[in-house]
Amino acid sequence: MGSAWLADTVLIVHVVFVLFVVGGFALILAGAGRWGWVRNRAFRIAHLAAIVFVAIETLLGFTCPLTLWEDVLRTTGRGERSFIGRWLAWLLYYNLPEWVFAIAYCAFALAVVWAWRAIPPRARSNRHAL
Comparing 45 with 4, the larger pLDDT belongs to 45
Closest CA to 22 of 126, 109, 96: 109
Check: CB of residue 40 under 8 Å from CB of residue 121: yes
DSSP H or E segment with residue 111 = helix 98-118
How many independent structural domains does the chain possess?
A: 1
Q: Which domain holds residue 45?
A: 2-118
Residue 128 domain flag: no
Residue 129 domain flag: no
Residue 50 domain flag: yes
By mean pLDDT, which of 31-40, 81-90, 114-123 is the weakest?
A: 81-90
pTM of the model: 0.85
Tell me whether residue 43 is exposed, middle or buried, using C-beta atoms within 10 angstroms of its C-beta: 0 to 12, 13 to 18, 19 or more.
middle
Closest CA to 13 of 109, 42, 108, 21: 21
pLDDT in tens, 66-116: 999 988 888 876 667 777 888 888 888 889 999 999 999 999 999 999 999
Residue 126's pLDDT is 57
Residue 53's pLDDT is 97
Residue 69 domain flag: yes
Residue 126 domain flag: no
Q: What is the CA radius of gyration of the chain?
A: 18
